[in-house]
Structure 1
Amino acid sequence: MRSLILKRPLAFFLFIFFSFHSPFSLIDDYQNAVKAQNSNSTGTSPSISSQDPLGRGTPRGTASGFINAVADKNYQKAEAYLNLEDVEDVKKNTEIVKTLESLLNHNGYLYPYSSISNESTGKSNDGLSSSIERVGILSINGEEMDLTLEKIAGPDGAPIWLFSKNTVKLIQGIDIRSFNASGTIETLLPSFLKRWSFGGAVIGHWIAMFLIGLLSYLFAWAFVIITSKIIKTSWKSANHEPVSNIINAIAFPLQLFLAVWLLVYVSNQMGVSIVVRQKFSWLPVICTIIAASLLLWRVTQFLSDFSQRKMNLRGNVSGVSVILFLNRAAKMAIVVFGIIAILGAVGVDVTTGLAALGIGGIALALGAQKTVENFVGSVTVITDQPVRVGDFCKVGETVGTIENIGMRSTRIRTLNRTIVTIPNGQFSSSEIENYAHRDRFRFYHIFEMRYETTPNQIRYLLVELRKILYAHPKVNPDPARVRFTTLAAHSINIEIFAFIMVIDFNEFLEVQEDILLRMMDVVEASGSGFAFPSQTVYLSRDKGLSQEKSDHASTTVEEWKAKKDLQIPKFTSEKIEALKDSLTYPPEGTAENSNL
């Protein structure tokens, strides 16, 4: 734990203080050199920002030029960055520059260079006039005022940006000696730390900046640790996954964000030199981007780990593969967009790169259209789960068992024992009939009886066939339907419909076989028989129908009528309850029945 506490701030401050030279100045110098080289090679006129020797062609150039001039204690040069037209006494120009420097040192604030426009036209969406640019804030007599630049025509007619007349008017009558310096760095620093200067500010301010940064980091670290302990103490769920993992994931990004912004706020309130603070103006922006990217990275990893555990518990190997792929893709996107955001924050023009990236992405998407389609299809199949490995199903015209769901395709073992591979894009858009989720089987048959069958024989059949359905323990009595439906061309049709309460197909065949055999016994007992198709011609001596059995069926029906017990058109609930599970299944005399 101690090593972790020491390593993180050490890396943090090495990163800050060994790179104190603002990357904006390096990038601006590089861009200006490129512009100058292009201008010389093509013979065209130089850019606006390079026409002015002081770099006042853009708001950012004016702001950074003024700070650099103040850092060099070249107040005469710094005067060139202010619009001093309305100042009557030229001797006060240097005093005005020093007053502006003091205001910036004492609770003043200059925006990070990344937030200041580097275009000669300034910002067009800030709600101000096109010739006015807001670049910071001044605190005058406890009131905050906007620090603004204004665009004017230079000596050669090219536009240049200067600190506005209104800004100069605000600070013109302020006495530097009236500033309340109590509690600032200047009053706290010992005299020997004020003797030497470095980078435009006394050594004491650099040391103060380092100490403020160190204390800010330690305070942020302590705040995050204490807050985490309080949450875990007051909320029991915070000690268990996944809440504890979420807290751990956001702890360091929050700590980094809080440390940087404490550094900015405290250094401003303590009156650290604007030269020192502006050297690190890029730091809050970049650290915020890094903290946000790190937070997204950790949240992505947490979601990936959580989803993988869920998929492993379900035995979904394909789902784990998809999650790993999405995790890598999301992290790659976080890194790419983080780098783009950082480059934009330090002043690099990423518009061209983004345009090229967009064109390349379109070309890649067109070339990998089928691959992307199959990947999206695999994600759909895995998340929606219309089928799982081992399910017996029908996909389009293919019937078989799912053997594997991959990133690109799904393999099905057909009834012929062959393997059919279907791309996931096509698979997810096909009609899928999954037999594995069937909770019962439909029993549906039409008995075609001979036309010699009498009405009483039909009644006998209707009653006795229903008895079988109601009495069989494997048949759901609701609905269990036996109906005389049709006088067909060559037969009298009786429709039989019910659900057999089994989920295995082989067991369904066994139960169906038993029911059909019982129903054939009933048909034979009724004295009727199954009809032959009328188009079939056969020569035989027809023995005719059994008169004895026909009389028996008629007698039975008449007895039911006499007793008012004819269960037509439907059975009474009492009769159904009495018949329930009264049949023996498996049938008597079978091997399975003998084992019961």
Structure 2
Amino acid sequence: MLNKKKKNFTATRLLFGCLILLLAQFPSAAQIPLISGDTTKTQRTVYPPDSLGRRSPRGSIDGFIKASYQSNYQKAALYLHRGAGITKRQTVRQAKALQAVLEMNGRIYPYSWISNDPDGKTDDNLGPELDRIGAVTINHASFDLILQRYTDKEGNPIWLFSDQTIEQIPLDIEDLESGTLINNISPAFLQVTKWGGVPAAHWIAIVLLLITSYLVAFGIARLLMYLIPKVIRKAEGDPYPRVIRAFSIPAQLYAAMTLFTFFSREAGVSLVVRQSFSNLTLLVGIIAVILLIWQLIDVTGILTEQRMTRNRNQSAVSAILFFRRALKIALAIIGVIVILDTLGFDVTTGIAALGIGGIALALGTQKTVENFVGSVTLIADQPVRVGDFCKIGEILGTVERIGMRATQVRTLDRTIITIPNGELSSLKIENYAYRERFWFHPTFFLRPETSPDQIRQVIQDLRRVLLTHPRVNPDPARVRFTEIGLNGVKIDIFAYVDTGEMNIFLEIQEELLLQMMEVVKDCGTRFMLPSQTLYMGKDQGMPVKEGPIISTDEAM
């Protein structure tokens, strides 16, 4: 049993540790939050639209990519800031070089991570005028792609590639695109035919790479699932197979997207095509994490249910089922919100509506929530369990059922009393089921005529009865002469009987009392019984005194 508990605990720690590592592997996770950091402002300045869509960082990078892949480099140059002394021709050349660098080793963040607000991101630690939209690696050195906010002739904000970024772009790499793997192996007609300004070979290649990546990830996952039990022997026993299966599908999806991103960049797939699939890779990654958490909830719930079932704690099993469903519902809601935010929908209003609806629901179901919290308290603290004989307030009986709303107690009259858990958690509970021994404390009253020697002998013999019984705990086991009064000579007995069963205690108590009655009888005394003294006599009344008799005539 201890080994199983240890395995369950180790498996749970392994699950959550791997989950944290998985979350940490998202690209640029240290720099970019999962949900867009844009905040809805109560008062937002409305600017007139820019013909090139440069009002926001997302519009600028999207416009640059479309213009450059349509070979309209003069238009693409308008998305670069032209510094002092830089001619228009030089800016066009810089735009071509920037496109080549992005094709070679560029990484543009998914559009859902790039701000679509004229103010840009304010929580990226770059300042209010700068936004990071990707990264580029040249000669094993990596640097960020930074957009900077400028103003146009009318004073409205526009976002352009910053001077800092443009200065790091070499101008002698314009012909690198011809050396990519796809351009070298694809047929000529697929190079000539273009879809969306990009050769058809790139679109076909991205689909083939997606399928290949998943098949490779599937094969690796199956191989690992086969090898892990062979290499690690203890992985064959429960709960490790459940843990491995929980990681199987999410790991396949995440590995497939990781391989897909790597293969597409190394094969030289066009940035336009890669950017079109960027949200797909992000969505699959989010779904993989959500699915993993879903599986972990199931595995953890099943393992906990099994342990509670072994402990015969049926109320905890019911609570675990409820928590599993509640966590899954919450996870589904969070997943939908994250996915909608990734797709570019404004979820701020929806989140606010959920918050208001939650408050209204909480107010309307206050008693239900109170009972639910009470049931959680009962399950966590376990002051009573099913089958316990206890006293709850003024109710004495056996607990028959602990539900999510109320607890049922069967009284000594064999009736059922239902107590709401919210009320039960605040009542005084005396649980007799946890009693490991019974208190034996009879009080004897002997006749007042009992002599001191008889009292000493009675006390000595009563102690012997306690100390010689195998089920009486000797610490303490005392007999004391405590009082003499109207009720006679008072003898107090204090001891504990080592048993937790009521029937056994009653049997031992009966045996001890019979032996003590014999001790009192053998010592020549008796128990003091309630008595009254009745005095009986005949009242003679007042004595009659004789005096002179006065007649009526004499009185006249």
TM-score in same-fold range (> 0.5): yes
Query: Gaps (5+ residues) in structure 2?
Result: 1-42, 537-556
Displacement, 1:204?
0.9
Contact 1:461 1:526 in 2 (8 A): yes
Once the two structures are superposed, the pairs formed by residues 87-106 of structure 1 within 5 Å of their partners are: 88-106=86-104
Partner of 2:198: 201
Structure 1 residues 35-62: Cα deviation after superposition (integer angstroms, max 9, x where no partner): xxxxxxxxx99932x5212211111111
Displacement, 1:389?
2.3
1:61 aligns with 2:59: yes
Shift in CA distance, 465/114, structure 1 to aligned 2, threshold 3 Å: same
In 2, the alpha carbon distance for the partners of 1:235 and 1:287 equals 30
Contact 1:297 1:334 in 2 (8 A): yes
Q: Give the residue type in structure 1 aligned to 2:46.
A: S
Once the two structures are superposed, the pairs formed by residues 11-410 of structure 1 within 5 Å of their partners are: 47-48=46-47, 50-86=48-84, 88-171=86-169, 173-177=171-175, 179=176, 182=179, 184-410=181-407
Contact 1:86 1:165 in 2 (8 A): no
Contact 1:75 1:97 in 2 (8 A): yes
Displacement, 1:170?
3.5
Q: Secondary structure at the residue paired with 1:51?
A: coil
Counterpart among 494, 514, 533 of residue 538 in structure 1: 533
**Which is worse superposed, 259-268 or 500-509?**
500-509
In 1, the alpha carbon distance for the partners of 2:59 and 2:137 equals 23
In 2, the alpha carbon distance for the partners of 1:307 and 1:113 equals 42
Contact 1:184 1:270 in 2 (8 A): yes
Once the two structures are superposed, the pairs formed by residues 404-483 of structure 1 within 5 Å of their partners are: 404-483=401-480
In 1, the alpha carbon distance for the partners of 2:182 and 2:209 equals 11
Contact 1:439 1:502 in 2 (8 A): yes
Off by >6 Å, runs of 4+ in structure 1: none
Displacement, 1:327?
1.2
In 1, the alpha carbon distance for the partners of 2:123 and 2:498 equals 71
1:525 aligns with 2:536: no
Structure 1 residues 82-101: Cα deviation after superposition (integer angstroms, max 9, x where no partner): 22344644334433322211
Displacement, 1:440?
2.8
In 2, the alpha carbon distance for the partners of 1:172 and 1:197 equals 28
Contact 2:477 2:494 in 1 (8 A): yes
Q: Give the residue type in structure 1 aligned to 2:99.
A: E
Contact 2:93 2:171 in 1 (8 A): no
In 2, the alpha carbon distance for the partners of 1:75 and 1:180 equals 16
Shift in CA distance, 154/255, structure 1 to aligned 2, threshold 3 Å: same
Counterpart among 491, 495, 516 of residue 494 in structure 1: 491
Shift in CA distance, 92/500, structure 1 to aligned 2, threshold 3 Å: closer
Contact 2:242 2:299 in 1 (8 A): yes
Shift in CA distance, 66/442, structure 1 to aligned 2, threshold 3 Å: same
In 2, the alpha carbon distance for the partners of 1:203 and 1:431 equals 77
Q: Secondary structure at the residue paired with 1:399?
A: strand
Q: Give the residue type in structure 1 aligned to 2:458.
A: L
Displacement, 1:396?
1.6
Q: Secondary structure at the residue paired with 1:54?
A: coil
Displacement, 1:132?
2.1
Contact 1:84 1:93 in 2 (8 A): yes
Q: Secondary structure at the residue paired with 2:425?
A: helix
Q: Secondary structure at the residue paired with 1:259?
A: helix
Q: Secondary structure at the residue paired with 2:168?
A: helix
Q: Give the residue type in structure 2 aligned to 1:446.
A: T
**Which is worse superposed, 164-173 or 363-372?**
164-173
In 1, the alpha carbon distance for the partners of 2:177 and 2:52 equals 34
Partner of 1:24: none
Contact 1:344 1:350 in 2 (8 A): yes
In 1, the alpha carbon distance for the partners of 2:224 and 2:334 equals 31
Q: Secondary structure at the residue paired with 1:329?
A: helix
Shift in CA distance, 399/168, structure 1 to aligned 2, threshold 3 Å: same
In 2, the alpha carbon distance for the partners of 1:45 and 1:384 equals 51
Displacement, 1:233?
0.8
In 2, the alpha carbon distance for the partners of 1:199 and 1:429 equals 69
Displacement, 1:387?
2.4
Q: Give the residue type in structure 1 aligned to 2:516.
A: M
Contact 1:70 1:200 in 2 (8 A): no
Partner of 1:564: none
Structure 1 residues 194-223: Cα deviation after superposition (integer angstroms, max 9, x where no partner): 110112210111122122222222222222
Structure 1 residues 430-475: Cα deviation after superposition (integer angstroms, max 9, x where no partner): 2222223333322112222233222111111112222222333443
Q: Give the residue type in structure 2 aligned to 1:91.
A: R
**Which is worse superposed, 80-89 or 346-355?**
80-89
In 2, the alpha carbon distance for the partners of 1:251 and 1:266 equals 22
Displacement, 1:292?
0.6
Q: Give the residue type in structure 1 aligned to 2:162.
A: S
Aligned CA-pair RMSD? 2.5
Displacement, 1:408?
0.7
**Which is worse superposed, 247-256 or 308-317?**
308-317
Contact 1:137 1:144 in 2 (8 A): yes
In 2, the alpha carbon distance for the partners of 1:87 and 1:252 equals 56
Shift in CA distance, 130/506, structure 1 to aligned 2, threshold 3 Å: closer
In 2, the alpha carbon distance for the partners of 1:284 and 1:422 equals 53
Contact 1:152 1:160 in 2 (8 A): yes
Displacement, 1:507?
4.0
Shift in CA distance, 172/193, structure 1 to aligned 2, threshold 3 Å: same
Q: Give the residue type in structure 2 aligned to 1:288.
A: G
Contact 2:192 2:199 in 1 (8 A): yes
Displacement, 1:491?
2.5
Q: Secondary structure at the residue paired with 1:147?
A: strand
In 1, the alpha carbon distance for the partners of 2:498 and 2:86 equals 104
Partner of 1:562: none
Q: Secondary structure at the residue paired with 2:278?
A: coil
Contact 1:449 1:529 in 2 (8 A): yes
Contact 2:130 2:147 in 1 (8 A): yes
Q: Give the residue type in structure 2 aligned to 1:362.
A: I
Q: Secondary structure at the residue paired with 2:493?
A: strand
Displacement, 1:160?
0.8
Contact 2:80 2:91 in 1 (8 A): no
Contact 1:408 1:424 in 2 (8 A): yes
Displacement, 1:510?
3.6
In 2, the alpha carbon distance for the partners of 1:315 and 1:170 equals 69
Displacement, 1:245?
0.6
Contact 2:386 2:402 in 1 (8 A): yes
